[in-house]
Amino acid sequence: MGNRQLDNQADKIISLYDLPVGRSATVSSIQAEGIIRRRMLDLGLVPGTRVEALRISPAGDPKAYRIRGAVIAFRKEEAYQILINL
Amino acid sequence: MIALAGNPNTGKSTVFNALTGLNQHTGNWPGKTVLRAAGRFIHHGLTFKLIDLPGTYSLMANSVEEQLARDFLCFERPDATVVVLDATCMERNLNLALQVLETTPRVVLCVNLIDEAERKKIYIDYRALAVKLGVPVVPTSARNGTGLDRLVENISGVATGRIETKPYIIQYKEEIEEAVRRLEPKLKKLVGDAFNTRWLALRLLDKDQAVIAAVEQWLARQDDPAAGMAEVILA
Amino acid sequence: MSRGSLSADLNELMQEVNRLNPGSSLKLNDSIVCTIYSRAEEITGGIVLRRGKPKFDWDKKLDDVITSRVFGFPSMLLLLAVIFWITVAGANIPSEMMATAFFWGQERLTALLHWLHAPAWVNGFFVEGIYRCLAWVVSVMLPPMAIFFPCFTLLEDMGYLPRIAFNLDNLFKKAGTHGKQSLTMSMGFGCNAAGVIACRIIESPRERLIAMLTNNFVPCNGRFPTLIALAGLLVMGMATSLSASFIVVGVVLTGIMTTLVVSWLLSKTLLKGVPSSFTLELPPYRKPQLGRIITRSIFDRTLFVLRRAVLVAAPAGAVIWLLANVHIGGVSILAHGANWLHPFGQLLGMDGYILMAFLLGLPANEIVIPILLMSYMATGTMIELDSLEALRQLFVAEHGWTWLTAVCMMLFSLLHYPCGTTLWTIFKESGSLKWTALAALIPLGIAVIVCFVLAQSARLLGWV
């Protein structure tokens, strides 16, 4: 497992939650299903979309991201379901 | 009857207030606790009723607001629909505009907040946008009253048919288009011109329960001889 | 056209749909949304031109402060405090002026009835009962609402409110509810009925109900005067308004804690469920539009709430007057009720008159103290005392109040059932008698338990 992760360093896949503030990445896939998935897609989180982690709530969660020009906050639970290519 | 659609935070209600002034009243959408604002404005002797739809990102009916907005556009079939777009955030806003264009050809795009866009050094080629989408595009800054006369002019033109629109229709991947081509003629036979059949075919393919139920209801009314008679007489 | 067959045609069509898209294998929604967004991207690319970055990103700079670890919470508290201060300080003068005007009107009305040779009870019932209660509610409620709501709408218009939800969401998530509940609570400081209406912004029905059922734990404008007066009574002697305000802040924080705890309990029991998905847009800050703020806050909020309050207060004024003026065996019904409630009131650290005042104050919280004064002094109409000293004299010297009485009354005022207007609003919004009843019974239960435990332990420990 460790080796494979090293091999794929170029396009490492992590969850949106793990994207450090100030960094950008592209959406690789949405893990959520049903209505939550549809809502995320509606917000413009389709594969290939650029997202930037902007800031963290002073209470530690949620985090705010820039998605197609709008600033949207997701809780940890939602952000975990969005996978990104770093 | 004119519908006003748009994303949240695009200054949609500012446009609504600017157009209707004090000629407005608010209530709830039938059976829902979502605020519904309606108003009137007069242009060249014609009175237009303006309905402010809830602010939504899309028309996919994933929330109460989206469903209300969509049902209104598709089943009430307004004479024209104004889509208010945020000039600083066109890509996100065009998503909704393209979905509206799928439901109705009689659309006016109102690109609002142009003053803010200017401050952010964003420049938009409105003419190219109008050509690409095949509907009138009016840049406005509703807060300052800029562009509202032209907006009213275009709304009136589209609603009365004076301005003809050739809406840009999105082509999906081939399997979907193929399925739509199979369904559409059959739908046409079933519902005639009462609905936009391409849009309906796409929703049925997506097995959208709300739309299926609405169509069922509509058909049941057609099946009912009394309702049918009334239609014949009206026709 | 063959009748009755259209629905059958639709069924046939749906079978065709199932053949074309078996088991939803086309992944239609994903594909459609992706296509639309990529078209939107293409079109935008062709028509939008960005010439460099703007000189100064105000949104970012503001958010850096407003949602920062260091300044986030203090700036929020400060803003809330400033709004309270503006509301309380600014409302005093117009409230007094309105009260004077209404009192003048009352004298004229009485004079008119006298001139018409109307019987005394007509003057009592209509003027001292209904008119006076209405005048009281309007003059106490209108000025603070006319200040608080525009302030609140200003923050809304500027785009500040979603930041509050962003900052506080984690607390609400732990209580099993939505961060937007913090906004409905803020609104509740102005008026719980308006706070309940604001719950519409919460999408999940479960979380919306929790927010509605707990909104009354934030003290509204109608209860602040009571809390402030009682806090002032507590610190008499030390006589610093600063320590009185600390007590009020403590009461407010108790209310917020209660909200979170009760929300948590509800989401574990009656309204069980996982938190709904949370997406919150933080819109760009915008220059507020004054005209819109004034129309929205005055017409949509202030007058709306006032209308409902008036509809509730008018009959209440009549009932209260009757209870205070119909005598059975030489004692008013009000006093009978207070005597009957007295043992129960004692258990809760208060007395029968206080409970009676809360009971009759159901229509509007601002009349609780006036009713209490009326019944203590057996005057038959609601009155106001002009000084804290006079209040202390009446409560402590004549009716045996201790610090425990004041504290229990403050807690009861904070926790007890929402006012009639709010309950009516809850019924309108939820459409359910059951939830409306629970919205009254849950807080009442909590208020009774808290006051009981506090009073009994204080007595047991010999603090009183």
Number of H-type helices and E-type strands within chain C: 22, 4
Residue A50 CB-half CA count within 13 A: 11
- Say whether B98 and C17 touch across the interface (CB within 8 A): no
Mean per-residue pLDDT of chain C: 86
Chain C touched by B170 (CB under 8 Å): yes
Instruction: Say if B165 falls within a structural domain.
Output: no
**Is residue B125 located within the same domain as residue B25?**
yes
**Is residue B36 located within the same domain as residue B150?**
yes
**Is residue B86 located within the same domain as residue B49?**
yes
Chain C touched by B119 (CB under 8 Å): yes
More confident residue, A1 or C240: C240
- Reply yes or no on whether the pLDDT at C5 is more than 80: no
- Helical ranges in C160-223 per DSSP H: 161-174, 181-190, 192-198, 205-214
Residue in C36, C43, C283 closest to B99 by CB: C36
- Helical ranges in C241-378 per DSSP H: 241-268, 290-295, 304-325, 333-347, 352-360, 368-377
* Among candidate residues C347, C334, C315, C335, the one with its CA nearest the CA of residue C412: C347
Measured distance CA(A47)–CA(A49) in Å, rounded: 6
Supply the pLDDT for residue C422.
Answer: 93
Supply the pLDDT for residue C55.
Answer: 65
* Among candidate residues B105, B6, B110, the one with its CA nearest the CA of residue B57: B6
Contact C451, C350 (CB under 8 A): yes
Phi, psi (deg, nearest 5) at residue B2: -120, 135
Q: Chain B residues with CB inside 8 Å of C300's CB?
A: 26
Residue in B62, B88, B91 closest to A42 by CB: B62
Residue in B129, B176, B190 closest to C47 by CB: B129
Q: Are strands B2-6 and B24-28 parallel, antiparallel or unpaired?
A: unpaired
The token duo for C5 is 């067959």
Supply the pLDDT for residue B233.
Answer: 44
- Say whether A70 and B95 touch across the interface (CB within 8 A): no
Q: Which residue has the tokens 């960094």?
A: A23
Question: Residue A7 — very low, low, confident or very high, per pLDDT cuts 50/70/90?
Answer: very low
Q: Chain C residues with CB inside 8 Å of B123's CB?
A: 48-51
Contact C227, C413 (CB under 8 A): yes
Name residues whose C-beta falls within 8 Å of residue C161's C-beta, 6 or more positions apart in sequence. Answer: C155, C183, C186
Q: Which residue of A has its CA nearest to C280?
A: A73
DSSP annotation of A84 reads: E
Measured distance CA(B200)–CA(B202) in Å, rounded: 5
Chain C touched by B34 (CB under 8 Å): yes
Instruction: Say if B234 falls within a structural domain.
Output: no
pLDDT digits (tens, 9 = 90+) for B97-156: 999 999 999 999 999 999 989 888 899 999 999 999 999 999 999 988 899 999 999 999
pLDDT digits (tens, 9 = 90+) for C28-73: 888 899 999 999 999 998 888 887 776 677 888 888 888 888 898 8
Q: How far is A42 from chain C (nearest CA, A)?
A: 7
Contact C35, C135 (CB under 8 A): no
Measured distance CA(C439)–CA(B135) in Å, rounded: 51
Measured distance CA(C343)–CA(C348) in Å, rounded: 9
Question: Residue C26 — very low, low, confident or very high, per pLDDT cuts 50/70/90?
Answer: low
Supply the pLDDT for residue C279.
Answer: 86
Instruction: Say if B168 falls within a structural domain.
Output: no
The token duo for A3 is 């080796």
Supply the pLDDT for residue B234.
Answer: 44
Return the sign of the alpha-carbon dihedral for residues C109, C114, C118, C119.
Answer: positive
Domain of A15 in residue numbering reads as 2-85
Q: Which residue has the tokens 């949602």?
A: C67
Residues pairing with A82 in the sheet: A30
Q: What CATH number did the domain enclosing A62 receive?
A: 2.30.30.90
Q: How far is B56 from chain A (nearest CA, A)?
A: 10
Residue where one domain finishes, among candidates B105, B127, B160: B160
The token duo for C397 is 């010297």
Q: Chain C residues with CB inside 8 Å of A39's CB?
A: 277, 279
Measured distance CA(C459)–CA(C85) in Å, rounded: 36
Q: Which residue has the tokens 């609603």?
A: B159
Own/partner pairs, C438-444, CB within 8 angstroms, 24+ separation: C438/C213, C438/C270, C439/C212, C439/C213, C439/C216, C441/C417, C442/C213, C442/C262, C443/C216, C443/C217, C443/C415, C443/C416, C443/C417, C443/C418, C444/C416, C444/C417
Average confidence (pLDDT) over A62-85: 93
Q: B residues 56-115 near A, CB within 8 Å? A: 57-58, 60, 62-63, 88-92, 95
**Is residue B195 located within the same domain as residue B147?**
no
- Say whether B88 and C284 touch across the interface (CB within 8 A): yes
Contact C151, C160 (CB under 8 A): no
Chain A touched by C169 (CB under 8 Å): yes
Residue in C1, C3, C6 to test binding to B, most B beta-carbons within 10 Å: C6
- Say whether C26 and B179 touch across the interface (CB within 8 A): yes
Instruction: Say if B150 falls within a structural domain.
Output: yes
Q: Which residue has the tokens 């006051």?
A: C451
Name residues whose C-beta falls within 8 Å of residue C439's C-beta, 6 or more positions apart in sequence. Answer: C212, C213, C216, C417, C418, C422, C423, C426
Chain A touched by C282 (CB under 8 Å): yes
Own/partner pairs, B17-22, CB within 8 angstroms, 24+ separation: B17/B142, B17/C292, B18/B142, B18/B145, B18/B148, B19/B50, B19/B148, B19/B151, B19/B152, B20/B50
Supply the pLDDT for residue B221.
Answer: 79
Question: Residue B78 — very low, low, confident or very high, per pLDDT cuts 50/70/90?
Answer: very high
Instruction: Tally the domains of chain A.
Output: 1
- Reply yes or no on whether the pLDDT at C84 is more than 60: yes
- Say whether A39 and B91 touch across the interface (CB within 8 A): no
pLDDT digits (tens, 9 = 90+) for B179-231: 899 888 888 888 888 888 899 899 888 888 888 888 888 888 777 655 544 44
Residue in A42, A68, A69 closest to B58 by CB: A42
Residue in A41, A42, A46, A67 to test binding to B, most B beta-carbons within 10 Å: A42
Measured distance CA(B83)–CA(A26) in Å, rounded: 29
Instruction: Say if B169 falls within a structural domain.
Output: no
Contact C332, C322 (CB under 8 A): no
Measured distance CA(B19)–CA(B150) in Å, rounded: 11
Instruction: Say if B197 falls within a structural domain.
Output: yes
Question: Residue B232 — very low, low, confident or very high, per pLDDT cuts 50/70/90?
Answer: very low
The token duo for B114 is 């142009």
pLDDT digits (tens, 9 = 90+) for C184-193: 998 898 889 9
Name residues whose C-beta falls within 8 Å of residue C226's C-beta, 6 or more positions apart in sequence. Answer: C365, C366, C368, C369, C409, C410, C413
Tally of CB atoms within 10 A around C155: 19
Average confidence (pLDDT) over B6-14: 89
Residue B23 CB-half CA count within 13 A: 12
The token duo for C107 is 């004298």
Q: Where are any strands of DSSP class E within B87-120?
A: 107-112
Contact B69, B5 (CB under 8 A): yes
- Say whether C29 and A36 touch across the interface (CB within 8 A): no
Instruction: Tally the domains of chain B.
Output: 2
Average confidence (pLDDT) over C375-390: 75
- Terminal Cα distance for chain C, rounded: 88
The token duo for C452 is 């009981």
**Is residue B11 located within the same domain as residue B117?**
yes
Phi, psi (deg, nearest 5) at residue C332: -70, 155
Write out the DSSP string of C347-383. HTTS-HHHHHHHHHTTT-GGGHHHHHHHHHHT-SS--
Instruction: Say if B82 falls within a structural domain.
Output: yes
**Is residue B100 located within the same domain as residue B209?**
no
More confident residue, C447 or B35: C447
DSSP annotation of C274 reads: P
Measured distance CA(C349)–CA(C409) in Å, rounded: 8
Phi, psi (deg, nearest 5) at residue C239: 55, 30
ipTM exceeding 0.85?
yes
Domain of B86 in residue numbering reads as 2-160
- Say whether C24 and B14 touch across the interface (CB within 8 A): no
C143-to-B140, C140, C385 alpha-carbon distances in Å: 37, 7, 20
Measured distance CA(B51)–CA(C409) in Å, rounded: 49
pLDDT digits (tens, 9 = 90+) for C402-424: 999 999 999 999 999 999 889 99
The token duo for C30 is 């994903």
Supply the pLDDT for residue A6.
Answer: 46
Phi, psi (deg, nearest 5) at residue B43: -135, 120
**Is residue B72 located within the same domain as residue B178?**
no
Percentage, residues of chain C above pLDDT 70: 96
- Reply yes or no on whether the pLDDT at B18 is more than 80: yes
Q: Is B31 exposed, middle or buried (0-12, 13-18, 19+ CB in 10 A)?
A: exposed
Residue in A47, A58, A75 closest to C173 by CB: A75
Residue where one domain finishes, among candidates B160, B191, B217: B160
- Reply yes or no on whether the pLDDT at C25 is more than 80: no
**Is residue B154 located within the same domain as residue B202?**
no
Residue where one domain finishes, among candidates B160, B185, B207: B160
Contact B64, B34 (CB under 8 A): yes
Residue C440 CB-half CA count within 13 A: 18
Measured distance CA(B12)–CA(B51) in Å, rounded: 11
- Say whether B219 and C7 touch across the interface (CB within 8 A): yes
Name residues whose C-beta falls within 8 Å of residue B116's C-beta, 6 or more positions apart in sequence. Answer: B87, B88, C284
- Say whether C46 and B128 touch across the interface (CB within 8 A): yes
Supply the pLDDT for residue B192.
Answer: 81
Q: What's the angle, vertex CA B22, arms to CA B16 and CA B27, rounded to 5?
A: 70
- Say whether A70 and B92 touch across the interface (CB within 8 A): yes
Q: Chain C residues with CB inside 8 Å of A68's CB?
A: 37
Out of A19-28, A50-59, B137-146, C315-324, least confident range:
C315-324
Q: Which residues of A touch B (CB under 8 A)?
A: 35, 38-39, 42-44, 68-70
Name residues whose C-beta falls within 8 Å of residue C223's C-beta, 6 or more positions apart in sequence. Answer: C365, C366, C413, C414
- Reply yes or no on whether the pLDDT at A35 is more than 80: yes
**Is residue B152 located within the same domain as residue B83?**
yes
**AA identity, residue A34:** G
Q: What is the total residue count of chain C?
A: 464
More confident residue, A2 or C98: C98
Question: Residue C1 — very low, low, confident or very high, per pLDDT cuts 50/70/90?
Answer: very low
Measured distance CA(A47)–CA(A35) in Å, rounded: 17
- Reply yes or no on whether the pLDDT at C252 is more than 80: yes
Measured distance CA(C321)–CA(C47) in Å, rounded: 71
Chain C touched by B121 (CB under 8 Å): yes
Supply the pLDDT for residue C256.
Answer: 93
Supply the pLDDT for residue C171.
Answer: 93
